[in-house]
Structure 1
Amino acid sequence: MFIKNALCATTALVMLPVAAAHAETLTIATVNNGDMIRMQGLTEDFTAKTGHTVEWVTLEENVLRQRVTQDIATKGGQFDIMTIGMYETPIWGKQGWLVSLDDLPESYDTQDILPAMRGGLSVDGTLYAAPFYGESSMIMYRTDLMEQAGLEMPDAPTWDFVADAAAKMTDQDNEIYGVCLRGKAGWGENMAFITTVANSFGARWFDENWTPQLDSDEWKEAVNFYNDLLTNYGPPGASTNGFNENLALFQQGKCGMWIDATVAASFVTNPEDSTVADKVGFALAPNKDGVSKRANWLWAWALAIPAGTQKEAAAKQFIEWATSKDYLSLVAEKEGWANVPPGSRTSLYENPEYAKVPFAKMTLDSINAADPNNPTVEPVPYVGIQYVAIPEWAGIGTSAGQEFSAMVAGQQTPEQALEKAQTLVTEEMEAAGY
């Protein structure tokens, strides 16, 4: 629903003439998010410039993570380009599993990439993935329902305000739910959101000695709050809702508030897809009264080249095309400035046309407010806001996510979910030698 077929080859990105290079067919694994789907509809522009063609493997987020991780760890060679994020890139780059992108041409302007994104996708100053888009998280809300509730959303709300607003905005008879949140199991799905909630309540995954902390009072308070909010004021079947499911609910007018990735803003305000496009406001992710950390994350969906590909040169050309300033201009020409991939380049936020987009400033403010080097109130031995940047995190987050999803489904209490998560995390970390 995001793709328009009108394509052009008018942007200024300089590529090798078709006749000057052997034409390749690149296989690219990517996530089924709207910006990536739009990119697939524009790849004729890349083919016209280079002669290379593209075969897409488009997967749901959890499946994508599993497929690319398995492929790169086993040197399977299925993909020439992988869509990965800030969690995988530093770990895989350090292990020599990714091709350096430091030799992209000067015209690409690597220094224009937002510092937070460039830093999160680099190892010791070497860039191993280029951000297709960058994001934090924020509140998207129905301005009309907020007004009907007699409330005014602050720019920087607390969780108490969110809970009060969710209660007043819920109208189950008309299938309007005060809040939509991620409940689908996955280290990048519900655990991304729950971890930011925990951070904002003063919790942490590990103390400075790598001892798991899910039995702490802060975790208990955070998880009980999340569970109560979602089970009392969320939609039915919330335990199976991830980013795309909640996006659809919001576009259909069924969510009073949705706390999720800033990248969703262009889709909830697009009148072609959203029934409430003209009734959406934005605010920073919440914090708890007296706690300074907000529940916002930092992430980039980025393009990387697995080491060992036989099509490295062509793959670099694609990354140069898809993550360039010229690609942003191409999308703006076809779809309007509100629909360009956000959060990747400084120049985008200096563009006076993009400054007119209603969510541009809040997106940048949210990204700048995220600090992966200091994610928690108490000190921790790890970096990462909505994840812990260690190889074991994918297994830990996946297993814990299943427990919390079962909790939202009513199959166990928050206390039971936390007890099980604490046990499995402890066992995993001991087995890994921490």
Structure 2
Amino acid sequence: MPLQLRRRGLYVRVGAGVALTALLAGCSGAGGASSSGGGGDTLNVLMVNNPQMIELQKLTAANFTKDTGIKVNFTVLPENDVRDKITQDFSNQAGQYDVATISNYEVPFYAKNGWLHPLDDYVAKDKAFNQGDILKPLQESLTAEDGKLYAEPFYGESSFLMYRKDVFADKNLTMPAKPTWDQVADLAAKADGAKPGMKGICLRGLPGWGEVIAPLTTVVNTMGGTWFDKNWNAKLDTPEFKKATQFYVDLVREHGEAGAPQSGFAECLNGMTQSKTAMWYDATSGAGSLEASNSPVKGKIGYVPAPVDKTDSSGWLYTWAWGMQKASAKTESAWKFISWASSEKYENLVGSKIGWANVPAGKRASTYANADYLKDASAFADVTKKAISSANPSNPGTQPRPTIGIQFVGIPEFTDLGTKVSQEISSAIAGKQSVDDALKTSQALAEKVGKEQK
């Protein structure tokens, strides 16, 4: 059953990125990006240009279209751009796109506004899809307050700490099985400069509610802070929130990557791959790229749970998922695509054609019972599954919250609020202002949002 917590149904334009940042810029794949429609056997799919989606695009014609006769026209855009375009098309119910990539952040608002087609009837008829195989936290996050399922996950993720095992061995450093943030800071200082040009850790500093705010908020949660208390009182100026933010800013300024204020997921992934950083705290989905067959650091990375302070766990919960527009006139074909793209069959296809480490995992229990997948993903598979399973969007910190969310606050207004606060934090990381000044401005912004919620 869905988490029965208060969610706001007001429409607010969703335009910023979240969690994962696109690694590829403006890639449209075979045939180019297209939004042109066709006959009944043609679907229009709008999706983010993350690596897993690019691989799906390349596999579609020779597999899905060949088997079903349904042609798929893909429009593939960077994350911020795709969110703007999805919101515009779905809010107007223009029907230009039948299917789009949305996340567990948008589902409650889109469903409440009547922009999504519920999927329960299709799931009930399609026994081969095996809805029971979908990991419970993801299924719950894609189920709205009305009890209906509105999206199917393409992949799921939490967050964890990645580190260079060989570098740690050379420096006689030991990574705890469940590290605390204080331990991570100490290790970052000792690993800094372990190799020429190598920094101790990479943490996102790039503005964006899905960039610096995502990992920072998990640190705030585990250090006892929160954006809002249960009565929607803003809490960005509390000692706990200040402690976490100061810790994060100090750590990345003292031992983090060069150019931290412009570094997001993509930049940290590149830094880890190119041996420019000894540790990286970020999305579990990044491990597939680190362990890919052509990765120069394959086999050199260790993976441990997200660092903690006052809580037992602190990993986030996120999924890129397939949503069907309510106005689509091709719902049966749309479901065939969604069920294929989210299926165990598709995971097996990726494993056999591209490599098992590249599988869009984190969504099905069967993935973690697949011997082929576990062989290639053994370094991170178990840690990822445990992180997703232990994520608790309703209670991620030390006090009651007014709504769901681990790395975000589950209200549509957070798109604007989180982005504005991220700019203040990124400015502090750049050394342009103090953390106290950044949070003073941020508190005022949050207070306005809190009053609206009340």
1:142 to 155, 164, 169: 164
The amino acid across from 2:46 in the alignment is: A
Number of the residue aligned with 1:308: 327
* 1:201-280 map, 5 Å: 201-272=223-294, 274-280=295-301
Q: Quick one: distance in 2 between partners of 1:321 and 1:384?
A: 29
Query: Which residue matches 1:338?
Result: 357
State the Cα deviation string for residues 223-258 of structure 1 (Å, max 9, x = none).
011001111111121112111121111111111111
Aligned to 2:424: 403
Map 1:114-129; keep pairs closer than 5 Å. Answer: 114-123=135-144, 124-129=146-151
In structure 1, the partner of 2:75 is 57
Following TM superposition, by how much is the alpha carbon of 1:29 offset from its aligned partner in structure 2, in angstroms? 2.1
Letter in 2 for 1:266: G
Deviation at 1:189, TM superposition (A): 1.5
Aligned equivalent of 1:14: none
Q: Residues 261 and 93 from structure 1, CA distance in 2 versus in 1: closer, same or farther, beyond 3 angstroms?
A: same
Give me the identity figure in percent: 43
- 2:307 partner amino acid: P
TM-score (norm 1): 0.91
How far is 1:295 from its partner?
3.0
2:109 aligned residue = 91
Task: Give distance in 1, aligned partners of 2:326 and 2:116.
Answer: 5
Q: Given that residues 139 and 282 in structure 1 are in contact (C-alpha distance below 8 angstroms), is that contact kept between their aligned partners in structure 2? A: yes
Picking from 381, 395, 399, the partner of 1:360 is 381
Local SS of the residue matching 1:320: helix
Report the TM-score, using the length of structure 2 for normalisation.
0.87
- Contact between 1:26 and 1:53, CA under 8 Å: does it hold in 2? yes
2:217 and 2:95 map into 1 onto residues whose CA distance is 33
Partner of 2:43: 26
Cα displacement (A) at 1:22: 5.5
Residue 310 of structure 1, CA deviation? 2.6
Cα deviation digits, residues 107-160 of structure 1 (max 9, x gap):
111111111111100124321010000010001111111122221112210111
- State which of 66, 85, 107 in structure 2 corresponds to 1:67: 85
AA aligned to 2:353 is K
Tell me which residue corresponds to 2:445.
Answer: 424
The CA distance in 2 between the partners of 1:269 and 1:410, in whole Å, is: 35
Please show how residues 61-210 of structure 1 align to structure 2 within 5 Å: 61-102=79-120, 103-104=122-123, 105-123=126-144, 124-171=146-193, 174-210=196-232
Distance 1:178 1:399 in 2: 28
Q: Deviations over 1:350-396 (max 9, x none)?
A: 22333332211011111112111111101112111111111212121
Contact kept? 1:140, 1:280, Cα under 8 Å: yes
Q: Compute the displacement of 1:69 (Å).
A: 2.3
Distance 1:193 1:95, change over 3 A: same
In the alignment, the residues of structure 1 paired with residue 396 and residue 195 of structure 2 have an alpha-carbon distance, to the nearest angstrom, of 40
- 8 Å contact from structure 1 (residues 167, 178) kept in 2: yes
Contact 1:297 1:386 in 2 (8 A): yes
Name the SS for the 1:126 alignment partner.
coil
Indicate conservation of the 8 Å contact 1:98/1:128, yes or no. Answer: yes
Match of 1:48 in 2: 66
Task: Work out which of the residue numbers 316, 324, 332 in structure 1 matches 2:343.
Answer: 324
Residues 405 and 293 of structure 1: CA distance in aligned 2, closer, same or farther (over 3 Å): farther
CA distance in 2, matches of 1:76, 1:247: 37
Q: 1:262, 1:363 within 8 Å by CA — same for their partners in 2? A: yes
> Can you list the C-alpha shifts for 1:150-195, whole angstroms capped at 9, x where unaligned?
2111221011111111111112982211111111111111111111
CA contact (8 A) 1:196 1:294 kept: no
**Kept after mapping to 1: 8 A contact 2:179/2:306:** yes
Shift of 1:294: 3.1
Tell me if structure 1 keeps the 8 A contact 2:291–2:299.
yes
Quick check: 1:135–1:298 contact (8 Å CA) kept in 2? Answer: yes
RMSD: 2.0
Return the alpha-carbon distance in structure 2 between the equivalents of residues 211 and 76 of structure 1. Answer: 38
**Following superposition of structure 1 onto structure 2, how do residues 284-295 of structure 1 map, counting pairs within 5 Å?**
284-288=305-309, 291-295=310-314
2:34 aligned partner: none
Cα distance 1:60–1:240, how it changes in 2: closer, same or farther (>3 A)? Answer: farther
Look up the SS of the partner of 2:200 in the other structure: strand
CA distance in 2, matches of 1:142, 1:283: 12
Indicate the larger mover: 177-186 or 131-140: 177-186
Check conservation: 1:135, 1:367, Cα contact below 8 A. Answer: yes
Q: How many residues are matched?
A: 414
Q: Aligned partners of 2:389 and 2:381: how far apart in 1?
A: 12
**Equivalent residue for 1:39?**
56
Aligned to 1:17: none
Deviations 1:317-336 (A, max 9, x none): 11011001110111111123
Gap regions ≥5 residues in structure 2: 1-22, 30-37
Structure 1 residue runs of 5 or longer lacking an equivalent are 6-20
Alpha-carbon distance in 1 for matches of 2:73, 2:212: 30
Distance verdict in 2 for CA 1:30–1:158, change over 3 Å? same
Give, in angstroms, the shift of residue 408 of structure 1: 1.5
